[in-house]
Structure 1
Amino acid sequence: MASTRDWFETVAEARRRARRRLPGPVFLAIEAGSEAGVTRADNLAAFAEIKFAPPRLADLPQVRDLRTTVLGTDIALPVLASPVGAQAVHPLGEVGVALGTRDAGTAMGLSEFASRPAAAVAAANPKLFFQVHWSADRDTLLKRAELAKAGGATALIVTLDWSFPGGRDWGSPSIPERLDLKTLARLAPAGLARPGYLLDWLRHGGLPGLTVPNMALPGQPAPGFFAAYRDWMTVPPPTWADIAWLREHWDGPFLVKGVMRPEDARRAIDAGATAISVSNHGGNNLDGTPASIRALPAVVAAVGDRAEVLLDGGVRRGGDVVKALALGARAVMIGRPVLWGLAAGGPSGVRNVFGILHSGIDSALLALGRASVRDLVADDVILPADFSRGLA
């Protein structure tokens, strides 16, 4: 079935529709990677280097089983939405992602830099994991996490793959601090070129706000996005003792995101992590870092069965998901494809993206002769000799 006005058949088509709908500066802010975009490009290129073992015949059930469990939560396919801050591609923002992931039967991560409070997002999809960066002192971080838990979040993600690199958002324009009259006048040509985007916002009460409610403690107003970001820049990076302290005080599943070295994977487990995400922040941190999928085999070997391992970065097709699972990942997280789907069709566009990946995973399982995502093994893929590029 070909794509229609209300439905698309590839993630690439979701991206094309998002580009047509979003003002240029908004779309470029999603697309950008750090500096020259070397890591962002390698996240995609590395999947193309992995080949599937030749298909084999097998006695398979008529329906393959794509279900799995991540961070104590049952999901219908091994793909969940990665936490992404300030999702201003659609008026519903993170609530739109929650509705789409709920309909897809999967979970989502919610950034502390999100534009919607955790309780509102959890009301749309209770399969919610809350993300913090090391953006404040210990007690403040814990209070934010506890407020998110009270709002319905069931697991905590601590993101470590961000270090304020220079040249952030290669290819994208600057993001305004506030939408005052001067800023609106400057952005007017880009906005008027995409009237559908502006009309959507006006129908929902006005242009996007730039506040981050999940970073406000009780009795405090929600800070502005950039005010919160500047405060974060003054906070020293965490030590492993800090991570262990937060883990000790968080009662629930605990994921450390941004692990690329086997030694760091072992340290994260020693600090109490129940899950690890192999991630380079979508190519938005230190440019020149290898693709996250290149680091996956060595991290899986270091972790063994002591924690769940997830992968984040470069997933665009169901076959990419299957490759990651064959190399030992429990599931993958996706960021840009979710935003493209949200921009292209709101909650139904998000659901559409996950439906595409579901179909692609199922097709790959059928060709590989596997009845379930849990049956995938390393022999189902072929890696070039230099694939890990010194990361093993």
Structure 2
Amino acid sequence: MSAGPEWLANPWKQNPWFESVAVAQERARRRLPAPVYGALVAGSERGQTVDDNQAAFSEIGLSPHVAGHQAHRTMSRMLMGQEISLPVVISPTGVQAVHPDGEVAVARAAAARGTIMGLSNFASKSVEEVTATGATTFFQMYWTGDRDVMVQRMQRAHDAGALGLIATLDWSFSMGRDWGSPEIPEKVDLRTMVRMAPKVLTRPRWLYQFGRAGAIPDLTAPNLARPGETTGPTFFAAYYEWMTTPPPSWDDVAWMREQWHQISGRPFMLKGVGRVDDALRAVDAGVAALSVSNHGGNNLDGTPAAIRLVQPIAERVGGQVEVVMDGGVRRGSDVVKAVALGARAVLIGRAYLWGLAANGQAGVENVLDVLRSGIDSALLGLGVASLDELTPEHVLVPDGFHRSIGAPD
């Protein structure tokens, strides 16, 4: 990917292209107000799981060949009935106040790079706006509200053109963070803007983006609007609905999957699986796919890194359902390691949000290009022509790395 003509005409202006997710993160840090950036990087309690999600990848090695490489390599595959050009999928994340175009920009980037857009029901853009971009969209739901409300949300997603449903059930959202929780206002009104002005005014480029778009950061969730309502609830109202909804049983998971099947006949993914016994129960509930995940470190702190859980789960259920993972992916080599251990694809969250903050749609495309390049380099070095050739023998995993939790004897 080359720098655009705008930068070539003015070399003193910062090159909008970045060569790594780490650079995207640094640009996002410099561009975003501290509370917004803090919300992106925050994890539960002391952040042990957030740190382990990334550190665990560094424990896995690769052993490249010196000759006999494949001149032509491919990384496309099928996931939940959809062909994707690389095994990297946009994970659903809530309220994207990092850029005025939010999820619409992310969806356009996903469509441009041939992958799937995961859309949160806590998103700042409606499912109708997102599917109108032409992106292959999977709609994500929490277990919130009563059953009639959940069926209405499924029906709306189907009617808008969502091709899959992702149920996220692993969110425990501990309020305690050792470094303090980022401030998220109930709503952005004049009083809030005045109160937060000292922090916001230190990031004029971020403020200018929203001003130019004639918008203010939207902290409502339009996909949670009830029939007949024109606007969705605020983030905190949505959070209250989640807190006051009794947590689901495995029968509820099966019910949710069945309702979506009756409405659409389309596949259902369960996100947040970290135990072998839960993976087996998910198979019994009829899911098409499951995501090995700890909610990016925002679940219970001390949960093992997701990559440590992949192989034990994939070995037990990978022949029955598609296994994906999310958590800590920052490089193409991370993707290759996950696939070698049994994941069909990975989901990314913070990585694309940093790209969105750094350069909008083009920044998300840039992140996907960085990962694609890294995947290709790893395939080249390992001497394989496709992802399907990857096996655990292609990675060097230290003793005691894997965490097989809840595996039946």
**Smaller-chain TM-score bracket:** over 0.9
Q: For residues 2 and 67 of structure 1, do their structure 2 counterparts lie closer, same or farther at Cα, with a shift above 3 Å needed?
A: closer
CA distance in 1, matches of 2:216, 2:402: 45
CA distance in 1, matches of 2:39, 2:83: 32
Corresponding residue to 1:271 among 279, 282, 285: 285
Corresponding residue to 1:376 among 386, 390, 396: 390
Native 8 Å contact 1:95 1:121 kept in 2: yes
- The reply on whether 1:64 has 2:73 as its aligned counterpart is yes
CA distance in 1, matches of 2:167, 2:27: 32
Equivalence for 1:84:
93
Shift of 1:172: 3.9
Equivalence for 2:27:
17
Corresponding residue pairs, total: 391
Native 8 Å contact 1:82 1:334 kept in 2: yes
- The reply on whether 1:52 has 2:62 as its aligned counterpart is yes
State the SS of the aligned residue for 2:279.
helix
Give the root-mean-square deviation of aligned CA atoms.
1.6
Native 8 Å contact 2:268 2:287 kept in 1: yes
CA distance in 2, matches of 1:389, 1:95: 37
Equivalence for 2:118:
109
Equivalence for 2:163:
154
CA distance in 2, matches of 1:115, 1:302: 37
**1:157-306 alignment, distance < 5 Å:** 157-167=166-176, 171-221=180-230, 222-250=232-260, 251-306=265-320
- The reply on whether 1:324 has 2:324 as its aligned counterpart is no
State the SS of the aligned residue for 2:92.
coil
Instruction: Return the letter of the residue paired with 2:237.
Output: A
- The reply on whether 1:308 has 2:318 as its aligned counterpart is no
**Identity rate of aligned residues, in percent?**
55
Shift of 1:168: 5.6
Q: For residues 168 and 145 of structure 1, do their structure 2 counterparts lie closer, same or farther at Cα, with a shift above 3 Å needed?
A: farther
Equivalence for 2:399:
385
Corresponding residue to 2:368 among 326, 349, 354: 354
Q: More deviation in 43-52 or 142-151?
A: 142-151
Deviation string 1:233-255 (CA, Å, 9 cap, x unpaired) is: 00011001001011112121100
- The reply on whether 1:74 has 2:74 as its aligned counterpart is no
Shift of 1:2: 9.2
Deviation string 1:85-121 (CA, Å, 9 cap, x unpaired) is: 0001000000010111111111110000001110110
Deviation string 1:259-310 (CA, Å, 9 cap, x unpaired) is: 0001000101100100000000000110011100001111101103101000
Q: For residues 284 and 380 of structure 1, do their structure 2 counterparts lie closer, same or farther at Cα, with a shift above 3 Å needed?
A: same
Equivalence for 2:143:
134
CA distance in 1, matches of 2:182, 2:190: 18
Deviation string 1:2-29 (CA, Å, 9 cap, x unpaired) is: 9861211111010011111111111111
Consecutive unaligned residues in structure 1, runs of 5 or more: none
State the SS of the aligned residue for 1:124.
coil
Deviation string 1:345-382 (CA, Å, 9 cap, x unpaired) is: 00000000000000000000000001001111110001
CA distance in 1, matches of 2:159, 2:2: 44
CA distance in 1, matches of 2:185, 2:248: 29
State the SS of the aligned residue for 2:273.
coil
Shift of 1:138: 1.9
Q: More deviation in 118-127 or 260-269?
A: 118-127
Native 8 Å contact 1:37 1:170 kept in 2: no
CA distance in 2, matches of 1:331, 1:191: 37
Q: More deviation in 284-293 or 243-252?
A: 243-252
Native 8 Å contact 1:164 1:233 kept in 2: no
Corresponding residue to 2:47 among 37, 52, 72: 37
TM-score for the superposition, normalised by structure 1: 0.96
Q: Which runs of 4+ in 1 moved over 3 A?
A: 1-4, 168-172, 389-392
CA distance in 1, matches of 2:331, 2:130: 26
Native 8 Å contact 1:14 1:344 kept in 2: yes
Shift of 1:204: 1.1
Equivalence for 1:98:
107
